[in-house]
Structure 1
Amino acid sequence: MTRHQDDPLELLLNRLERPKKHGERYMAICPAHPDKSPSLSLTRGRDGRALVHCYAGCKTRDVLAAVGLELRDLFLDNLSHDQRQQYHRNTLEAERRFERLVIEAAKNKPDDLLDEDIHRLALAQERLGQLNHLLAEPSNQPEPHSPVLIEVALGDVMNATLGQVRHAIKPWIPRRHVTLFGGHGGIGKSSISLAIAAHVACGRQFAGLEVEKMPVLFVSLEDEASIVRLRLRRIIEAYQLPAVEVLDGLRLLDGTQTISALMTEGDNFNPQPVFTTAFRELETNVNDAGLIIIDNASDAFDANENSRRAVRAFVRGLAGLARQHDAAVVLLAHIDKSAARTNTNGNSYSGSTAWHNSARSRLALLDEGGRVVLRHEKANLSALAEPVQITFVDGVPMPYTPLQESELIVSDTDQAEMVRAIRAAQEAGVQVSASMSGPSTVIHALENLPEFGKQFRSKEGKKRAKAAILALIRTGRVVRVDYEDRHRNKRQRLELFELTQNCPTKAPINGVKAASDISPIPPSVTNAAQGACVSASDTTETAINATNASVRISDAVIRA
Structure 2
Amino acid sequence: MISDPAAFLEFDANHFMAIWGVGGMSDEEKDALPAAVRTQAITRYRKLMGADNSSHRAERGQAKLDAATRETAITEWPPGLDLEVLAELEPELPHFIIGDWFPVGYATLFAGHGGVGKSAIALHLAVCIAAGVPFFGLEVSRRRVLFLSCEDRRPVLHWRLSRICSHLGADLASLRGWLEILDLVGADAMLWDRDPRTGYTITSGYARLQERMGEYQTEVLMVDGVSDTFAGNENARGEVKRFVNGLVALIPPDAGAVLVVGHVSKPGSTAGANGEGYSGSTSWHNSCRARWYLYPETIQGEDGERAERTGDLILELQKSNLGRTDQSIRFAWDQDAHLFLGREIVGATASDRAHRDRIERKGILAALQACAESAPPIIVPAAMQGPRTAHHVLSLRPEFPDSLRAGKPAVRRFRRQIEALRQLHAIEDAEYRRTNGHRGERLAITTDGVRHIATF
What TM-score results when the alignment is normalised by the length of structure 2? Answer: 0.56
Q: Is the 8 A contact 1:262 1:279 kept in 2?
A: yes
Q: Is the 8 A contact 2:104 2:256 kept in 1?
A: yes
Q: C-alpha separation between the residues in 1 aligned to 2:50 and 2:98?
A: 37
The verdict on how the C-alpha distance between 1:236 and 1:152 changes in structure 2, with shifts beyond 3 A counting, is closer
The verdict on how the C-alpha distance between 1:541 and 1:237 changes in structure 2, with shifts beyond 3 A counting, is farther
The verdict on how the C-alpha distance between 1:148 and 1:280 changes in structure 2, with shifts beyond 3 A counting, is same
1:190: which partner in 2?
119
CA shift, 1:366, in A, is 1.5
1:27: which partner in 2?
none
The verdict on how the C-alpha distance between 1:149 and 1:197 changes in structure 2, with shifts beyond 3 A counting, is closer
Q: Is the 8 A contact 1:290 1:325 kept in 2?
A: no
2:330: which partner in 1?
389
1:255: which partner in 2?
184
CA shift, 1:328, in A, is 1.3
2:224: which partner in 1?
295
2:387: which partner in 1?
none
Q: C-alpha separation between the residues in 2 aligned to 1:151 and 1:204?
A: 38
The verdict on how the C-alpha distance between 1:161 and 1:368 changes in structure 2, with shifts beyond 3 A counting, is farther
Match of 2:84, SS? coil
CA shift, 1:132, in A, is 5.8
The verdict on how the C-alpha distance between 1:398 and 1:277 changes in structure 2, with shifts beyond 3 A counting, is same
Q: C-alpha separation between the residues in 1 aligned to 2:60 and 2:273?
A: 41
Alignment equivalent of 1:234, drawn from 149, 160, 163:
163
Alignment equivalent of 1:218, drawn from 127, 147, 156:
147
Q: Could you list the runs of 5+ residues in structure 2 that have no partner in the other structure?
A: 1-39, 68-74, 299-308, 346-369, 371-391, 405-456
The verdict on how the C-alpha distance between 1:208 and 1:170 changes in structure 2, with shifts beyond 3 A counting, is same
1:351: which partner in 2?
280
Q: C-alpha separation between the residues in 2 aligned to 1:349 and 1:540?
A: 26
Alignment equivalent of 1:120, drawn from 51, 75, 82:
51
Q: C-alpha separation between the residues in 2 aligned to 1:541 and 1:158?
A: 46
Written as runs of structure 1 = structure 2, the 5 A alignment for 1:21-420 is: 120-121=51-52, 123=54, 126-130=57-61, 148=77, 150-156=79-85, 158-159=87-88, 161-247=90-176, 249-268=178-197, 271=199, 274-286=201-213, 287-323=216-252, 326-343=255-272, 345=274, 347-369=276-298, 370=309, 371-384=312-325, 386-394=327-335, 395-401=338-344
Written as runs of structure 1 = structure 2, the 5 A alignment for 1:443-482 is: none
Q: Which residue type is aligned with residue 398 of structure 1?
A: L
Q: Percent identity?
A: 27
Q: C-alpha separation between the residues in 1 aligned to 2:185 and 2:106?
A: 26
2:35: which partner in 1?
none
Q: C-alpha separation between the residues in 2 aligned to 1:354 and 1:158?
A: 33
Q: C-alpha separation between the residues in 2 aligned to 1:185 and 1:348?
A: 12
Q: C-alpha separation between the residues in 1 aligned to 2:62 and 2:220?
A: 33
Q: Is the 8 A contact 2:104 2:254 kept in 1?
A: no
CA shift, 1:197, in A, is 1.0
> Which deviations, in whole Å up to 9, do the C-alpha atoms of 1:60-90 show, x marking residues without a partner?
xxxxxxxxxxxxxxxxxxxxxxxxxxxxxxx
Q: C-alpha separation between the residues in 2 aligned to 1:400 and 1:381?
A: 25
Q: Is the 8 A contact 1:308 1:352 kept in 2?
A: yes
Q: Is the 8 A contact 1:360 1:381 kept in 2?
A: yes
Q: Is the 8 A contact 2:50 2:56 kept in 1?
A: no
1:84: which partner in 2?
none
Q: Is the 8 A contact 1:178 1:329 kept in 2?
A: yes
Which of the pair has more CA radius of gyration? 1
Q: C-alpha separation between the residues in 2 aligned to 1:156 and 1:325?
A: 18
Q: Is the 8 A contact 1:215 1:249 kept in 2?
A: yes
Q: Is the 8 A contact 2:62 2:202 kept in 1?
A: no
Q: C-alpha separation between the residues in 2 aligned to 1:285 and 1:397?
A: 30
RMSD: 3.9
- Greater relative contact order (Cα 8 A, min sep 6): structure 1 or 2? 2
Q: C-alpha separation between the residues in 2 aligned to 1:391 and 1:536?
A: 19
Q: Could you list the runs of 5+ residues in structure 1 that have no partner in the other structure?
A: 1-109, 138-145, 403-500, 502-526, 529-533, 543-560
What TM-score results when the alignment is normalised by the length of structure 1? Answer: 0.47
Q: Which residue type is aligned with residue 191 of structure 1?
A: A
CA shift, 1:161, in A, is 4.4
Match of 1:263, SS? coil
CA shift, 1:187, in A, is 0.5
Q: C-alpha separation between the residues in 1 aligned to 2:273 and 2:158?
A: 31
CA shift, 1:535, in A, is 9.4
Q: C-alpha separation between the residues in 1 aligned to 2:50 and 2:154?
A: 18
Match of 1:282, SS? helix
Corresponding residue pairs, total: 295
Q: C-alpha separation between the residues in 2 aligned to 1:388 and 1:341?
A: 20
Q: Is the 8 A contact 1:168 1:212 kept in 2?
A: yes
Q: C-alpha separation between the residues in 1 aligned to 2:254 and 2:183?
A: 21
Match of 1:281, SS? helix
CA shift, 1:164, in A, is 3.3
Q: Which residue type is aligned with residue 263 of structure 1?
A: W
The verdict on how the C-alpha distance between 1:160 and 1:336 changes in structure 2, with shifts beyond 3 A counting, is farther
